[in-house]
Amino acid sequence: MSGIVTVTPAAAIDQTYRVDGLRLGDVNRAVGVSTELSGKGVNVARAVTLSPLPVRAVVPMGADGRILADDPALRTLLAVVPTDGRTRVNTTILDAATGTTKVNEPAIPLRAEDWAAVVATSGAEIDRIGADWLVLSGTIPTVQGGTGPVDILQLLRQAGERGARVAVDTAGAALETAVANLDLVHLLKPNAHELAELTGRELLTIGDVASAADELHRAGCDLVYVSMGADGALLRTAAGLWHAHVAATVVNTAGAGDASLAGFLVGLHGEDGRDDPAAAVASAAAWGALAVSSATTILTSLEALTTPVAVQDPDPTTPLSEPATPPRDETATP
């Protein structure tokens, strides 16, 4: 059986408030509150625990986060790397009228020795559970006292040396670094907006997304999986193009992309040991749709799961309900 190790360089405490009628610039009373240990890799790992696949989540964490990590339900999942700082806090406000509002704290810088411990722990966990995937997820912090981000290539190289394939779900400069080193990366998981920014393309249709995914695939990425929110999931591999979609009642979009990545990796493991791209993209769409129908960030059950049919070679003219455009170059001459 294959395993998955996730790495969350910038874990978070997720504080979620449910309100009735959000009023900006005024005092709002919460009608419900929940607190969870979160971060993209943690979310992915917790969702994977709903499957038979073994999984471990490597997380650098301050003392306040370690209190939540001591939950008995998390002790067997987390490989905690203690840090001397605190854990960042991300705030989500859920309101039926205005939807999901998030305020995410920036990543807290890591000491060089803390990042070295993260890399070493990740390698040990790959060996311990026999993982064939390492998933790097979320914001990449800077080095404390330094001028740049931690060295993610060190982590990716180590995974390859241990025989694990690498999946990357991040954004900005870290995503550009991954794209510039596709010899180390097997799966990229941008959302539509990240894909538009990365390729400089306007994405208005399924065909536009497919063309942008093709660009990354031709550059050397084996699997390009694009999460498209309400428009479902799209996958480009050497074997073809697949699209899957599930209608869902949206309650909370936070963590939906992480649930869909977990579903993708679980579905990818075919019964014969080979990758099953159709099952992967269908599972990704289903798990993501189930996640948005829940008020919590973490997917906790698959009981209401409805698996769609993955359509190969979908109609490229199908418009996106959530188009994506690259950011405007403010330095360009009008």
Catalytic residues: 258
Taking the C-alpha atoms of residue 85 and residue 17, their distance in angstroms, rounded to an integer, is 25
What 3-state class would DSSP assign to 229?
A: helix
* Widest Cα–Cα separation across the chain: 58
Taking the C-alpha atoms of residue 119 and residue 114, their distance in angstroms, rounded to an integer, is 9
Among the listed residues 210, 212, 189, 144, the one whose alpha carbon sits nearest the alpha carbon of residue 43: 189
Crossing angle of helices 112-129 and 152-161, rounded to 10°: 20
8 A C-beta contact, residue 61 and residue 80: yes
The tokens describing 218, both together, are 């031709």
Q: Where are the beta strands (DSSP E) in 110-257?
A: 131-137, 165-169, 187-188, 203-205, 223-227, 233-237, 240-244
